[in-house]
């Protein structure tokens, strides 16, 4: 079966309460009818890996810098029970509830996933830190007769749930359903496409507010999974604080209007940006600042222009062995080359660079020499500002 939007969003929200003993009991009380849960400490020294009866508390490590790493409970796995969830199981992971997690979200290095393709280094390292516990849980799925596993997560938890769903679908013969709320982009296109195929796009439910900054990062070349069938883009009220739209409580409120039906929630989808909207934004000479709305348009415009450059230069957008810095170097190189070639492509590259310059407070005139060094420094400044914008939203959780 499939979880309703309401149930999945509530689980993504309530999983934050398993982080310590004081709030863990509340989670157990809420879900004791649906999951095999029991009283247990989240302290690994007290409970040998943090086991919760027939469930396992996943103790993960997050943080991109060694001396800022923090080990704590990232979520749980649990077998379902009762008339609704018999022979089913759950993996629920929490998101950016602390500064350590926020650092992981924005630490966009690359690692090769065991199933193939390149993924975000921070997400990969956190996933690897609790993989032994996940394997322990998964080893009993077949024996228990489990036919469906629901993977749920918000923010960083959405990215981790994606890696879990990918691993389960590659190693265990069960149906895997993935539900993410405000999750960031987990990896590059090869990983995302392969994961969508393994899990099945019809089993992926990606819910996000159109002005939530976290689903907009990491920027290109990181991409989301699924096609339009699995995307649920929810419009936001510009008058409200945009950071509010990353709160999982707000996601619970937003999906509440679905009446427990994914089809109804889909009917609220905000239309994707049209090419005419992207070109109109690029051609504009009006003032522009870095906001969540302009970030959404910038991301679309960046990919649109990069594809044009790559098509003319007959090269791939991303090499197999790229790292954080070489991704930015490669992007700057492509833009530099694109600016120097034919008028048609060079025009669009120039327009993108001018719009980006305005957003970051850099003045470009007709006499400005668009060197590779200047373009590279612009991208570094832009992505630093995007990271700050995203961190401010995630730190409000």
Higher pLDDT, residue 134 or 110: 134
**Is a pLDDT exceeding 50 seen at residue 361?**
yes
**DSSP H or E stretch at residue 74:** strand 70-79
pLDDT of residue 147: 95
pLDDT of residue 95: 80
All structural domains of the chain with their residue ranges = 5-266, 275-394
Higher pLDDT, residue 324 or 313: 313
**Is a pLDDT exceeding 70 seen at residue 136?**
yes
Residue 167's nearest CA partner among 133, 143, 216, 217 is: 133
Task: Determine if the peptide bond prior to 245 is cis (ω within 30°).
Answer: no
Q: What is the chain's Cα-based Rg?
A: 22
Indicate the burial class of 324 (C-beta count within 10 angstroms; 0-12, 13-18, 19 or more).
middle
pLDDT digits (tens, 9 = 90+) for 76-112: 899 999 999 999 999 999 886 454 444 444 445 678 8
3-state secondary structure of 237: coil
Phi, psi of 340 (to 5 degrees): -95, -15
Look-up of token digits 């995203």: 390
Q: Which of 102-111, 214-223, 274-283, 294-303 has the highest mean pLDDT?
A: 274-283
Which tokens hold the place of 345? 């492509």
Phi, psi of 26 (to 5 degrees): -65, -40
Alpha-carbon distance values, 47 to 30, 42, 54, 304 (Å):
22, 7, 13, 51
CA 337 to chain centre: 31
| Spatial distance between the Cα atoms of 126 and 265, rounded to a whole number of angstroms | 31
* Mean pLDDT taken over the chain: 81
Which CATH architecture does the domain made up of 5-266 adopt? 3-Layer(aba) Sandwich (3.40)
| Spatial distance between the Cα atoms of 122 and 158, rounded to a whole number of angstroms | 13
Non-local CB neighbours of 141 within 8 Å, separated by 6+ positions: 89, 149, 172, 174
pLDDT of residue 49: 43
Whole-model pTM: value is 0.83
Task: Determine if the peptide bond prior to 44 is cis (ω within 30°).
Answer: no
Phi, psi of 369 (to 5 degrees): -85, 110
Residues in the chain, total: 397
SS percent in the chain: helix, strand, coil, step 5: 50, 15, 30
- 3-state secondary structure string, 336-360? HHHHHCCHHHHHHHHHHHHHHHHHH
Which tokens hold the place of 77? 């796995």
pLDDT of residue 33: 92
User: Is the dihedral angle over the CA atoms 152, 252, 10, 133 positive or is it negative?
Assistant: positive
pLDDT digits (tens, 9 = 90+) for 142-173: 888 999 999 999 988 999 999 999 999 999 88
Please answer whether residues 117 and 191 qualify as being in contact, where contact means their C-beta atoms are separated by less than 8 angstroms: yes
Share of the chain above pLDDT 70, in %: 80
Task: Give the largest CA-CA distance in the chain.
Answer: 72
**Is a pLDDT exceeding 50 seen at residue 41?**
no
Residue 134's nearest CA partner among 111, 156, 165, 110 is: 165
Indicate the burial class of 289 (C-beta count within 10 angstroms; 0-12, 13-18, 19 or more).
exposed
| Spatial distance between the Cα atoms of 263 and 390, rounded to a whole number of angstroms | 30
CA 228 to chain centre: 16
Full DSSP string of 152-220? EEETHHHHHHHHHHHHHHHHSSSEEEEEEESPPP-B-HHHHHHHHHHH-GGGEEEEEETT-SGGG-S-T
| Spatial distance between the Cα atoms of 207 and 89, rounded to a whole number of angstroms | 21
Indicate the burial class of 66 (C-beta count within 10 angstroms; 0-12, 13-18, 19 or more).
exposed
**Is a pLDDT exceeding 70 seen at residue 203?**
yes
pLDDT of residue 321: 45
**Confidence at 239, pLDDT banded by 50, 70, 90:** low
Q: Determine if residue 278 is left, alpha or beta; phi over 0 gives left, psi from -120 to 50 gives alpha, anything else beta.
A: alpha
Interval 295-321 mean pLDDT: 76
Least confident of 56-65, 124-133, 208-217, 223-232: 56-65
**Is a pLDDT exceeding 80 seen at residue 345?**
yes
3-state secondary structure of 232: strand
């Amino acid at each position: 079966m499939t979880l309703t939007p309401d149930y999945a969003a509530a689980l993504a929200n309530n999983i934050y309460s398993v982080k310590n003993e004081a709030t863990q009991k509340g989670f157990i009380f809420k879900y004791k009818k649906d999951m095999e849960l029991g009283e247990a400490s989240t302290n690994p020294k007290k409970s040998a890996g943090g086991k919760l009866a027939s469930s396992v508390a996943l103790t993960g490590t997050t943080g991109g810098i060694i001396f800022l790493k923090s080990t704590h409970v990232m979520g749980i796995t649990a077998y379902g029970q009762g008339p609704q969830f018999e022979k089913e199981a759950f993996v629920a992971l929490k998101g950016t509830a602390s500064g350590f997690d926020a650092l992981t979200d924005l630490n966009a290095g690359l690692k090769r996933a065991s199933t193939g393709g390149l993924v975000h280094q921070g997400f990969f390292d956190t996933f690897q830190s609790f993989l032994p516990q996940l394997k322990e849980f998964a080893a009993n799925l077949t024996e228990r007769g489990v036919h469906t596993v629901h993977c749920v997560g918000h923010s960083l938890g959405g990215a981790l749930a994606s890696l879990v769903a990918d691993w389960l679908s590659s190693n265990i013969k069960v149906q895997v359903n993935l539900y993410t709320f405000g999750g960031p982009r987990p990896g590059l296109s090869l990983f995302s496409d392969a994961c969508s195929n393994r899990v099945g796009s019809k089993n992926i439910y990606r819910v996000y507010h159109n002005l939530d900054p976290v689903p907009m990062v990491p920027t290109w070349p990181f991409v989301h999974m699924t096609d339009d069938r699995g995307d649920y883009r929810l419009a936001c009220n510009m008058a409200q604080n945009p950071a509010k739209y990353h709160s999982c409580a707000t996601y619970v409120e937003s999906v509440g209007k679905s009446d427990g039906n994914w089809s109804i929630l889909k009917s609220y989808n905000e239309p994707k940006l049209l090419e005419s909207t992207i070109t109109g934004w690029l051609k504009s000479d009006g003032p522009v600042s870095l906001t969540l709305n302009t970030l959404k348009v910038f991301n679309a415009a960046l990919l649109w222009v990069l594809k044009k450059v790559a098509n003319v230069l007959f090269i791939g957008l991303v090499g197999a062995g790229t790292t954080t810095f070489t991704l930015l170097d490669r992007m700057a190189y492509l833009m530099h080359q694109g600016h120097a070639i034919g008028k048609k492509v060079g025009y669009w590259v120039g327009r993108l660079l001018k719009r980006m310059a305005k957003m970051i407070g850099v003045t470009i005139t007709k006499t400005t020499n668009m060197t590779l060094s200047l373009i590279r420094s612009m991208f570094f400044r832009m992505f630093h500002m995007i990271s700050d914008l995203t961190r401010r939203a995630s730190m409000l959780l």
